[in-house]
């Protein structure tokens, strides 16, 4: 099974947040080889920025922040070039009034014909009817 994941899912593997238990279930399926993770190449920058914000604004200890960065980099993600996804993502963004960043994940899931799981409820609310392969973390089930 292939699954597009975003940085909002990945952060929950290292920092306890709402629905972290579901995110950890996804990670467990990855660790057993049942799931491959796909993402646009900029996921590392997004992840790093989330960790930085949590350290700067929410008091995440420096050692925990660094551990999250190192552990995330150890995961094997199948990355896609944003250059190849940009045209499709831009059309999605314009049509659904979403950011191009979010739309790149949707475009990748369409290109690879797989689910995109996100913790971004507003995104799913905005595009879910047009893209049923976009699901919230809370609604994701392994099948």
Quick one: what percent of the chain has pLDDT higher than 70? 100
Q: What is the mean pLDDT of the chain?
A: 96
Strand partners, 78: 38
The full set of domains in the chain, from first to last, is: 2-139 (3.40.50.1010)
Within 8 A by CB and 6+ apart from 129, the residues are none
E-only strand ranges, the chain:
2-5, 36-40, 77-80, 115-118, 134-136
Within 8 A by CB and 6+ apart from 94, the residues are none
Task: Give mean pLDDT, residues 79-99.
Answer: 97
Whether pLDDT at 95 is above 80: yes
From the list 108, 138, 127, the residue with the least C-alpha distance to 37 is 108
At 142, is the pLDDT very low, low, confident or very high (cuts 50, 70, 90)?
Answer: confident
């Amino acid at each position: 099974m292939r699954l597009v994941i975003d940085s909002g899912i990945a952060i929950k593997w290292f920092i306890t947040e709402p629905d972290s238990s579901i995110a950890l279930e996804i990670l467990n399926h990855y660790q057993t080889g049942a799931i491959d993770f796909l993402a646009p190449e900029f996921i590392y920058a997004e992840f790093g920025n989330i960790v930085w914000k949590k350290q700067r604004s929410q008091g995440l200890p420096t050692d925990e922040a660094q551990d999250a960065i190192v552990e995330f980099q150890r995961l094997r993600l199948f990355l896609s070039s944003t250059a190849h996804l940009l045209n499709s993502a831009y059309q999605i963004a314009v049509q659904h009034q979403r950011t191009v960043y979010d739309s790149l994940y949707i475009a990748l899931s369409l290109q690879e014909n797989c689910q995109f799981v996100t913790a971004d409820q507003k995104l799913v609310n905005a595009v879910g009817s047009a893209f049923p392969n976009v699901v919230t973390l809370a609604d994701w089930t392994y099948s």
